[in-house]
A = this chain, B = another copy of it.
Amino acid sequence: MAIPPAAKRVFQGIIHDVYQWSQKLFDGSSSTFEMIVRQPSTEILAIVNNKIVVLMQQQPGRKAYPSLPGGRVEAGDTALHTAQRELLEETGYTASRWTLLDEFSGNQKYYFRESLFLAWNCKKVGSQKLDAGEKIKVTLVPFDDFLQLCRNPRFVAAIPLKFMMYEALLDMKKRGELKKRLKLNIWGKAK
């Protein structure tokens, strides 16, 4: 998915912008198309002793929900930088190595760049530093339990990551591959 080159920003919000462009139709006529561009975000699979860091989050105005560490990438910042900062602030952990596991970009009507990082060999180096809008409990979850989380309707995560988790539940080969990608990083072998 991408923002069409001809698209123009018609509204700038806090985390969402609105873009419109003139789209030629099959009969030669034109119509104004519209899409949302959301502020990019990061999400982190943080590995601690073969387990995955899952947050139990509370935010104002909504019920508690499980999620991965992560957060919005501010203008001028990088996704990796954001991921490293968010992991430290939300959990007190740092990682000895970071790799970009995948990147998502939303759909035709909703451009949303999400960077999924793998943070391996995480160690606790301090305490949480939370925003006024956050209450977070850090839990460590074994891989097989983590996979089951995609079936929890309250689990907040990138939709393509949820599909990856469902695929890993359905397909033993894909499950092995995903496990291997995470394990390789846990044990520090070449990627």
Binding site for B on A (CB under 8 A): 4, 10-11, 13-16, 18, 20, 23-27, 29, 31-34, 36, 38, 60-62, 107-110, 131-135, 151, 153, 156, 159, 162-163, 166-167, 169-170
Contacts and interface: CB of A to CB of B under 8 A. Distances in A.
A21 to B, nearest CB: 9
B16 A18 contact: yes
A177 to B, nearest CB: 15
Contacts of A108: 62
A74 to B, nearest CB: 15
Contacts of A32: 14
B16 A60 contact: no
B25 A133 contact: yes
Given A26-B135, A33-B61, 11 more contacts: A10-B13, A14-B20, A14-B33, A18-B18, A23-B61, A24-B60, A26-B132, A26-B133, A107-B156, A110-B110, A170-B170
Contacts of A29: 132
Contacts of A31: 132-133
A163 B162 CA distance: 9
11 contacts: A14-B20, A14-B33, A14-B34, A15-B109, A23-B60, A25-B131, A26-B134, A36-B110, A107-B156, A151-B167, A166-B166
Nearest to A166: B166
B132 A60 contact: no
